[in-house]
């Protein structure tokens, strides 16, 4: 493949930062952007590049939720040493995040050829955008929004963690969309479901970025574009996180549902007319 230029890296960083934590599918938007720019979406090196710049978005979560993460990590490490501390919700939640990450790691490693091959098609992205919209619309209406963050259980965390597999297998479904929707189906309120989605994204996306680093370095992009894309992703993602948490505290997810359907239908049109390649 041709090298990813600095300008392309910046554009991809912006797209990643804006869409990683919004329930609109960062992978889908990255693949659409790559298709428009003529970058082969199913090239393993390109997949590696986009996985690495996701680490910038994860770094934004780490910074934004630094106090929460420090509190959970402190409770977890204290509980390892002191049995009487293991009743604490933060201690248990630390383990739950670890447990809930295992399924996506197993599936990600086992299905990597499929994920980077046939399922990387923009046709899959278009269909998943629309299918994910239906799931989100239903979750926002069926869920009773009566449970807060302190009410989450191991079962909640495992189910939300496993839902990340949908986005892994079907780019366009959206990791945040799948996890938030699952949280809503479990009657979590919108803010609690969104925050749980953030916490579960930290190990999954960081691990994916580190695992794909070797392919990204072989992409021909060079260190400059990789650093630029990651830095831009971090800055834009930080702003997106702050905005989303304020938004979901007062609004439904209807705007995201409509947006996803419009983008999915537009993508089907572009693919059908041959304007962009799948």
Q: pLDDT tens-digit profile of 1-38? A: 457 889 999 999 999 999 989 999 888 898 889 888 88
277 in any annotated domain? no
Residues whose CB is less than 8 angstroms from the CB of residue 233 and which lie 6 or more positions away in sequence, other chains included: 13, 14, 16, 17, 20, 53, 54, 55, 56, 57, 60
| CA–CA distance, 32 with 271 (Å, rounded to integer) | 10
90 pLDDT above the threshold of 90: yes
**Tokens 């803010």 found at:** 191
pLDDT digit string, tens, across residues 156-209: 999 999 999 999 999 889 999 999 999 999 999 999 999 999 999 889 888 877
259 in any annotated domain? yes
278 in any annotated domain? no
Identify which of 214, 183, 258, 266 has the alpha carbon closest to the alpha carbon of residue 175. Answer: 183
Residue ranges making up the domain that contains 80: 6-272
| CA–CA distance, 74 with 58 (Å, rounded to integer) | 20
50 in any annotated domain? yes
51 in any annotated domain? yes
Asked whether the whole model's pTM tops 0.85, one would answer: yes
Number of residues that this document lists for the chain? 278
- Higher pLDDT pick, 68 / 115: 68
250 in any annotated domain? yes
Domains in the chain, number: 1
1 in any annotated domain? no
| CA–CA distance, 223 with 243 (Å, rounded to integer) | 30
Classify residue 121 as left (phi > 0), alpha (psi -120 to 50) or beta: beta
């Amino acid at each position: 493949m041709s090298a990813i230029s600095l300008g392309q890296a910046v554009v991809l960083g912006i797209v990643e930062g804006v869409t990683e934590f919004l329930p609109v599918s960062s992978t889908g938007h990255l693949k659409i952007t790559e298709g428009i720019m003529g970058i082969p979406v199913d090239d393993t090196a390109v997949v590696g590049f986009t996985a690495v710049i996701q680490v910038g978005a994860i770094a934004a979560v780490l910074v934004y939720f630094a106090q929460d993460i420090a509190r959970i990590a402190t409770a977890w490490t204290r509980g390892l040493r002191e049995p009487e501390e293991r009743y604490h919700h933060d201690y248990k939640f630390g383990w739950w995040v670890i447990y809930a990450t295992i399924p996506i790691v197993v599936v990600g490693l086992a299905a990597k050829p499929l994920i980077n091959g046939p399922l990387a098609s923009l046709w899959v992205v278009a269909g998943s955008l629309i299918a994910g919209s239906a799931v989100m619309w239903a979750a926002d209406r069926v869920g009773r929004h009566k449970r807060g963050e302190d009410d989450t259980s191991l079962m909640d965390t495992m189910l939300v963690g496993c839902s990340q597999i949908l986005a892994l297998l079907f780019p366009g479904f959206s990791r945040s969309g799948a996890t938030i929707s699952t949280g809503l189906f479990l009657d979590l309120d919108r803010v609690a479901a969104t925050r749980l989605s953030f916490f579960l994204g930290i190990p999954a996306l960081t691990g994916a970025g580190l695992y794909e680093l070797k392919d990204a370095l072989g992409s021909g992009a060079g260190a400059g574009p990789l650093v630029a894309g990651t830095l831009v992703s971090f800055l834009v993602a930080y702003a997106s996180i702050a905005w989303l948490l304020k938004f979901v505290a007062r609004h439904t997810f209807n705007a995201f549902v409509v947006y996803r359907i419009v983008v999915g239908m537009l993508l089907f049109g572009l693919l059908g007319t041959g304007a962009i390649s799948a």
